[in-house]
A and B are shown apart, each in its own frame.
Chain A
Amino acid sequence: MITMDPVVRECDVLVMGGGIGGLMAAIAAADAGARVIVAEKADTRRSGSGATGNDHFVCYIPEVHGDFEDFMRELKLTQAGLNADEPVLRAFAARSFEIARDWHKWGINMKLNGQWTFEGHAYPGHMRTHLKYDGRDQKKILTREALKRGVVIENKTPVAELLTDRAGRICGAMAIDVSDTVPAVKLFRTKTVIAATGSANRIYSSCTPAWMFNVAGCPACTGTGVAASYRVGATLVNMDIPAIPAGPKYFSRAGKGTWIGILRDYHGKNIGPFLEKPSREHGDITSDVWPSVFRDKQRDGTGPVYMDCSELSEEDMQYLLWAFTCEGDTSLVEAMEKQGIDLRRHMVEFGSYECTLLGRGVEIDPHAATNVPGLYAVGDQVGNFLSHIAGAATMGRIAGERAAEYARTAEPDDRVENHPVVAERRAFYTALMERKHGSSWKELNITVNQLMDDYVGVYNVRSETLMSAGLKYFGDLRKRAESSVMCRDAHELMRALEAFDLLDLAEVVCLSALERKETRGGHRRADYTFTNPLLNGMFVTARLQDGRPVISMRPAR
C-alpha cells in the first residue's frame, strides 16, 4: 500500500493551492485568529499563473473613478459582466482598493511613478478599470506576509480529495506528498477548506499539441479544486461557455493586455476600428470584441493577423518591454531576443490558444462560500465571477475572513483517518503505483484533449450527437484508464491524478454544453445555430446528487 504519513495535520482553515487567492485567503484567516495551513502543489514563492508576475489589477478608487455605480456599469459592460453574478462582482469591487493599498504597503509596487495609474484593458472613451502595477515579486511577498502571521505552508503537497462528514460538512482533505520520488498520503483535519487551484489549463489540446505544457496559464493548474469540490457536492456553473485566450501564436503566454500595438493584416492594414495609433492608455481591444478573429481570418484566407508595435516612440517601447517583466513574461522577451525579433521593426503573428476553464467552475456567494458547508472557493476556479489577479486577491481575503468565522463554531464529525474516501482513494493510488505495465498519465491527458477538441470543442461545432458520443467515449476512457494507468514515481502519480480530474471536468463540460440549446460566444451548436434572447443571463449549473449529475439552468443573480 502507498505510505500514509502517520501525522494528521490539524487546522481551522486549510487553503488548497497557494496562488494569489490562496495566499490572500491564508493571510486574512490568520489575521482573524484561525490556525491556517496552505497545501501547495509546488512552492508558493513561484507557483500558479501569477508565478513570475502580473501587471493589471482591476480596482475601484473613489478619487479616480468617482461614483461606484459608474465603475460597476463599466465593469459589467466591458470587463467581467458576462458570466458574473452581480452581488459577487459588487462584493469584490467594493473592497478591491484596500487590497491594492495593502499590497503597496507590503512592497508590491502598485503606484507606478508614485501614483495610481490606470492603463490598458480599456475601450477608447471609456473609464479605465485596470490599475497598472509591477507584480514580478508578488508571490514571494505574499508568502512572506503569510509566514509572518504564523501560516504553515506545506509545499510539494497537492491536495487531491476533500472529505465531508455524515452531514455533508467539510471535515478534512487528502493530499499527496511529492517532495520525494516515493509518494506518501497526507491527511488534514480541518473545519474549512478554501479551494484556490486556478483554472484547468490542460483540458483541451495546446496550440502546439505535441508540446502539451505550452499553455497560457500555469500548466500545473488542472482544475483539481473544481473537480474535488464537485465530488463533494459543490455546484459548478458556466462550464458550457469556453474561455479562449490569445497572444503570440505558438508561444502560449497570458498577458495580451500588456501589448501596446495594433492588430494588422499581412499588408499592414488595421483589422479593427478601435485605434489608429497605439498608446499606453489603450491597447487594441479588437480581439476582446472579436475573440475568434485569428481563427476566422486564418480560415477565410485573409490572415495571418499580426501585432504591430513598430509605431511606438522609443520611450513607449522601453515601457512595453519593462511591462512584460512586470507581467512575468521575461521568457517572451528573451525568446524574441534569441530569435532576433525587434518589435521596433517586426510584427509578431498572434493566434488563439487552447480553450480553458478560466472563470468557469465552482459557484460562490458574495462571501466566497459554496453550497457545501465549510467549503469556499476563490480565484480562476470560480464559475460565476472572474476578475483575474484582483478578483482572486480580494475574494481570497473575503473567503479567509468568512472561513475563520465559520470555523469558530463548526464541529464536523471527527472521522478523517477512517474516512471511506481515504481508504478507497488510497487503494486506487496503490493500484496506479504497483502496476508494472500499462499506460502513462500522458496518454490519458492526450486522450482527454483529443476527445474535448473533437466532441465538445470550440474550433469545431458542438451538437447533441457529437456531445452525446463524446460523453460515451469519456466513460469508455475512464474504464480503460482506471485499469491501465501506471505511475513510476510521485511526480507521475501527481500528473495522473491531474489527468483523472481533467476527465471528471470533461464530462461536466459535455453535460453542461448539452443543456445550452443555443449558440453563444465560443459555444457554437450546429443544431441550434441562433442565440436565444430568452437565455440571456441564464447560467447552466451542474452538481452531483446521490452520485449522479444534475444539470439545470438558473438566472444570473
Chain B
Amino acid sequence: MPPVIDPKKCVHCGTCAQICCMDVYGPAKPQTVPQVRYPEECWHCRACVMDCPAGAIELTYPLPMMILCKDAPARGEGGDRP
C-alpha cells in the first residue's frame, strides 16, 4: 500500500504529512514516524518521496494500476518497419 516509510531512515520531520495533497498521512504527531492513515487515497504524485530529506519513503503501486505493455514491432535493417 502506498507510501511506505522506512522507520530506520525517518527523521520525524513531518514533511511528508504536511505536503501530501491528499492528506494520506493525516496529522503527524511531532517527533514520530508519520502514520499512513488513508493509503487508498494516494494519488501517487510522489511529492513525499521527492521532498523527504532522508530518502525514507518508497511508493508502492497497486496492482489495479498495472501498466499494460507489449513488445514494439521489430524493425528491418536501416530502422524501417517491416
Contact = CB atoms under 8 A, between A and B. Distances in A.
Interface of A: 41-43, 45-48, 51-52, 155-156, 178-181, 208, 210-215, 218-220, 248-252, 264, 266-268, 304, 306, 308, 310-311, 328, 330-331, 334-336, 338-339, 341, 345-349, 489, 491, 494
A331 B75 CA distance: 30
A42 to B, nearest CB: 4
Contact of B65 (A155, A214, A268): A214
A201 to B, nearest CB: 9
Given A179-B27, A213-B40, A331 B64 contact: no
A339 B66 contact: yes
Nearest to A201: B43
Nearest to B79: A311
B35 to A, nearest CB: 11
Contacts of B53: none
A181 B26 contact: yes
Q: Is the interface of A mostly helix, strand, loop or mixed?
A: loop
B4 interface: no
Given A213-B22, A306-B70, A335-B61, 15 more contacts: A42-B22, A46-B47, A51-B21, A212-B40, A213-B40, A214-B62, A308-B72, A328-B45, A330-B46, A330-B49, A331-B61, A335-B65, A339-B67, A348-B67, A348-B69
A131 B45 CA distance: 23
B13 to A, nearest CB: 14
Given A210-B64, A250-B68, A491-B37, A47 B21 contact: yes
B59 interface: yes
B41 interface: yes
Nearest to A306: B70
23 contacts: A43-B18, A47-B21, A52-B50, A211-B40, A213-B22, A213-B40, A213-B42, A214-B62, A214-B64, A220-B23, A249-B68, A250-B67, A251-B61, A252-B65, A267-B73, A306-B69, A310-B72, A311-B75, A331-B44, A334-B59, A335-B61, A346-B72, A491-B37
A308 B44 CA distance: 24
B45 A341 contact: no
B69 A346 contact: yes
Given A213-B22, A335-B61, A335-B65, A345 B71 contact: yes
Contacts of B75: 311
B20 interface: yes
B21 A48 contact: yes
Nearest to A182: B27
B62 A42 contact: no
Given A46-B51, A348-B68, A331 B27 contact: no
B54 interface: no
Given A211-B62, A308-B72, A46 B19 contact: yes
Interface of B: 18-23, 26-27, 37-38, 40-47, 49-51, 59, 61-62, 64-73, 75, 79, 81
A251 B67 CA distance: 6
Q: Is the interface of B mostly helix, strand, loop or mixed?
A: loop
A252 B72 CA distance: 22
A308 B70 CA distance: 10
Contacts of B68: 248-250, 304, 348-349
A208 B43 CA distance: 13
B64 to A, nearest CB: 4
A250 B26 contact: no
B61 to A, nearest CB: 5
A349 B69 contact: yes
A514 B19 CA distance: 41
B57 to A, nearest CB: 12
Contacts of A51: 21, 45, 47
A309 to B, nearest CB: 8
Contact of B46 (A252, A306, A308, A331): A331
Contact of A43 (B19, B38, B49, B81): B19
B21 A347 contact: no
A334 B46 CA distance: 10
Contacts of B71: 345-347
Contacts of B64: 208, 210-211, 214, 250
A46 B26 contact: no
B67 A248 contact: yes
